[in-house]
Amino acid sequence: MNSSSKETHSKSDEIWHLSQQLGISIWKNLLSLPESDDNHTPALINLERSIQFTFVVQSAERDGLKAQIFVSEKTNLISLCKYLPFLFKRYQIFLCADNLIQQRILAFSHDEMLQEDNQAKKNLSYLLEKAAQDNASDIHIESLSGTKQVRMRIDGKLKKVSLPEQIDERLFIKIKLHSRMDIAQKRAPQDGHFPFISSYGKHFDLRVSTVPGINGEKIVLRLLPATSVQFSMEEMGFSSRHIAIIKKCIRVKTGMILFTGPTGSGKTTSLYSILKELQSEALNILTIEDPVEYRLNGITQVEVNNLAGISFASALRSFLRQDPDVILVGEIRDTETAQIAARAAQTGHLVLSTLHSNNVFEAIHRLKNLGVKGDDIATSLKLLVSQRLVPRSCNCNMSPDCQLCSGKGVSGRIPILETLQISPVIKKMLSYEEALSDIEKISFSEGFVSMRDFGTKLVAENTISAIELDSICPAG
């Protein structure tokens, strides 16, 4: 970075000397494009990048042609200035930083796309509006051999979507431009994001990622509500029994609470409903996430950034020097994070996190695999929750006029939980590293209700269907 600023500096010096020598009038704001450079079209900027300078003839005046010369850091000024006096009698030189030129190209092509590319524009706004309206969590745009298709994840399941206009490469370019990605790069994965406000005024932050497939690129847009968290545990559909257990565990602000379940099972949303419950002026709440999915005022949210050296573990270590009360770690997936999180929980902090495992007992196994000793699990762990989201049955008998489900028979999803509170007996068993099967037996005798058993109760109440329950947690 140093050498380039030095280069720019010496280039400015060079220009200054030449201006003295040749009597050139030079644009005062070096390294910035003039404000009214309407003539400076994308084609010219491109030219400047490839042949390293360009000039625009502004007007033919009485005393000869007047021209504006645009040069970048790459321009060979000496050779350019050798010829200038012969070509034009009056000229101004504008020195443009390379990244400024790039920004201008992007801005120009952006505007052009917006004005000219109606097809891609129509498709994209249709897609985003539809996704917002149908509460889709993700949009998948994929290249198949000879064709492209769009699917949306609604209530956890991917569904094909047909668009008003034919989908082609321009839709990909448009999304990449919005996300500030390199539109020419198709062979390497890219990440980006852009905001979107639906016609109903719903705000979203769209996380965009691309991967190069053998038939072309695939783009996934994740729709994250950019509004602050609105939901409480009650609004999310947690049962009163589970709410009581969670609230009891967060009352004393120490120990570790872990949510487990596969991706898309609503773990982060649940953790945020807990944060919302905890949020108060009296508490210092910090989060480290990858990425930050919800905005919550009054707490400090940090995003994992590998380039800047911010990992779950490094952020966690910094948090401990920030006088924290509550720490949310997006996910525990490595030994270092697991061990620091356990230590934080042992030393008087409430730690909330997620873990990949199928049920609460597997979570204990997973923690051990991650290198947390039985004794440390015993002294840090307070509550394990395993969660799935299941489509909620609508009691309209699939009437096509139903406002909730329009005849589909399901509307929205309801969380199904199993919770394992670490009782004094289980705590002792954990520290003695007793077999998980024995811990499981004891927990049932202490009143543990498995996800399957809880789901079966919901089936009996007609809240969910037996088929849906079987598909997320099979019997036995």
Q: Give the footprint of Zn ion on this chain (CB under 5 A).
A: 394, 396, 402, 404-405
Identify which of residues 195 and 412 has a Cβ nearer to Zn ion in the complex.
412
Beta bridge partners, 386, equal 260, 418
Nearest approach, Cβ of 405 to Zn ion (angstroms)? 3
Identify which of residues 24 and 459 has a Cβ nearer to Zn ion in the complex.
459
Helix, coil or strand: residue 113: helix
Identify which of residues 364 and 405 has a Cβ nearer to Zn ion in the complex.
405
Q: Report which residue type is found at 84.
A: L
Identify which of residues 97 and 396 has a Cβ nearer to Zn ion in the complex.
396
Nearest approach, Cβ of 170 to Zn ion (angstroms)? 38
Nearest approach, Cβ of 233 to Zn ion (angstroms)? 25
Instruction: Report how far residue 362's alpha carbon sits from residue 371's, in angstroms, rounded to the nearest whole number.
Output: 14
Nearest approach, Cβ of 338 to Zn ion (angstroms)? 44
Half-sphere exposure of 76 (CA within 13 A, CB side): 6
In order, the DSSP letters of 283-331 are --EEEEESS--SB-TTSEEEE-BGGGTB-HHHHHHHHTTS--SEEEES-
Q: Do residues 385 and 258 lie in contact, with contact meaning Cβ atoms separated by under 8 Å?
A: yes
Identify which of residues 328 and 390 has a Cβ nearer to Zn ion in the complex.
390
Nearest approach, Cβ of 411 to Zn ion (angstroms)? 6
Identify which of residues 145 and 397 has a Cβ nearer to Zn ion in the complex.
397
Residue 123, C-beta contacts closer than 8 angstroms, at least 6 positions apart: 163, 164, 165, 167, 171
Residue 63, C-beta contacts closer than 8 angstroms, at least 6 positions apart: 89, 90
Torsion-angle region of 75 (φ positive above 0: left; ψ -120 to 50: alpha; else: beta): beta
Beta bridge partners, 420, equal 384
Nearest approach, Cβ of 193 to Zn ion (angstroms)? 35
Nearest approach, Cβ of 127 to Zn ion (angstroms)? 26
Nearest approach, Cβ of 395 to Zn ion (angstroms)? 7
Identify which of residues 369 and 395 has a Cβ nearer to Zn ion in the complex.
395
Identify which of residues 220 and 459 has a Cβ nearer to Zn ion in the complex.
459
Nearest approach, Cβ of 391 to Zn ion (angstroms)? 12
Identify which of residues 405 and 430 has a Cβ nearer to Zn ion in the complex.
405
Cα torsion 317, 319, 322, 325: sign: negative
Identify which of residues 10 and 133 has a Cβ nearer to Zn ion in the complex.
133
Nearest approach, Cβ of 400 to Zn ion (angstroms)? 9
Cα of first residue to Cα of last residue in the chain, in angstroms, is 61
418 burial type by CB count under 10 A (0-12 exposed, 13-18 middle, 19+ buried): buried
Strand 216-225 relative to strand 136-144, pairing: antiparallel
Residue 433 backbone phi and psi in degrees, to 5: 55, 45
Residue 155 backbone phi and psi in degrees, to 5: 50, 40
Residue 82, C-beta contacts closer than 8 angstroms, at least 6 positions apart: none
Instruction: Report how far residue 298's alpha carbon sits from residue 326's, in angstroms, rounded to the nearest whole number.
Output: 13
